[in-house]
A = this chain, B = another copy of it.
Amino acid sequence: MNELRVIPIHGVGVVARGDDLVRLLLEAIEVQGLELKDHDLVIVTSKVVSKSEGQVVPFDGSEEHKAALIDGEARRVLRRRGPLRITESRHGFVSANAGIDLSNTTEGTAVLLPKDPDRSARRIRAEIARRRSLDVAVVITDTFGRVWRNGVTDVAIGSAGIRPILDLRGTTDANGRLLEATEIAIVDEIAGAANLVLGKAMGTPFAILRGLDLSYFGEGSIGENVIRSANDDLFR
């Protein structure tokens, strides 16, 4: 396989309800002297998707209000420790506090996850195709903690134009034996790769991945392919 490039797109200002994300993205790419190409993958961090879609609610800063907001977004609380709740969101994402973001938001507000991040990704992809006649994939990312290991990583919460899971089942190794770990969640590796150029840089909501293997592009969504049903999960 070839070299992969992960390119942060700078210079996007504060995003507000109704803002045209695709216009902001395309303008920022141009200002940076770049050009979007077929089979690029565009990363969009969830917060700007939420803000542009109006998923911002008043928040008075109290623990009680925080708990009420979480209750509204979570369909199940899996664990509690102090103020922390590990929840299953309406979408099926298991994360802290139903994915509600209380930092880097306008004072007095909290940002909820997009209502349907896969649909948001499809819409962004379609808009790019409409305006530039380009076939790019789109991944919407958010920052989740995980079990067993310290720290948070970025994962994909919505996608379009990319196969979220690379399925190598049936593939044999160099000795003709079936491979074991054969369903690679490339979409989450993509989200993490983007965060390496975005994580420290506040206010940089977009990145481009260029050079992904062409076989990675295709159908699928996070809701259908990545979220594991509670029944299949050994730890729920």
CA–CA, A164 and B8, complex, Å: 21
Contacts of A189 on B, CB cut-off 8 Å?
A: 153-154, 192-193, 195-196, 199
Q: Does A68 lie at the interface of the complex (its beta carbon under 8 Å from any beta carbon of B)?
A: no
Q: Does A166 lie at the interface of the complex (its beta carbon under 8 Å from any beta carbon of B)?
A: yes
Output the nearest chain B residue to A183 by Cβ-Cβ distance. Answer: B151
Output the nearest chain B residue to A155 by Cβ-Cβ distance. Answer: B149
Q: Does A107 lie at the interface of the complex (its beta carbon under 8 Å from any beta carbon of B)?
A: yes
CB atoms of A195 and B200 under 8 A apart: no
CB atoms of A228 and B150 under 8 A apart: yes
CB within 8 Å for A4 and B197 given contacts A107-B175, A175-B107: yes
Output the nearest chain B residue to A216 by Cβ-Cβ distance. Answer: B196
Number of copies: 2
CB atoms of A105 and B199 under 8 A apart: no
Output the nearest chain B residue to A107 by Cβ-Cβ distance. Answer: B175
| Cβ 8 A contact of A196, one of B104, B155, B186 | B186
CB within 8 Å for A1 and B197 given contacts A143-B181, A147-B147, A227-B150: yes
Output the nearest chain B residue to A97 by Cβ-Cβ distance. Answer: B180
How many A residues touch the partner, as a band? Answer: 35 or more
Q: Does A225 lie at the interface of the complex (its beta carbon under 8 Å from any beta carbon of B)?
A: yes
1-49 of chain A: CB within 8 A of chain B: 1-8, 14
Q: Does A69 lie at the interface of the complex (its beta carbon under 8 Å from any beta carbon of B)?
A: no
CA–CA, A148 and B93, complex, Å: 8
Output the nearest chain B residue to A95 by Cβ-Cβ distance. Answer: B148
CB atoms of B234 and A215 under 8 A apart: no
CB atoms of A101 and B180 under 8 A apart: yes
Distance in Å from the Cβ of A224 to the closest Cβ of chain B? 10
CB atoms of B190 and A196 under 8 A apart: yes
Contacts of A6 on B, CB cut-off 8 Å?
A: 3-6, 193
Contacts of A3 on B, CB cut-off 8 Å?
A: 5-8, 197
Contacts of A174 on B, CB cut-off 8 Å?
A: 14, 104, 202-203
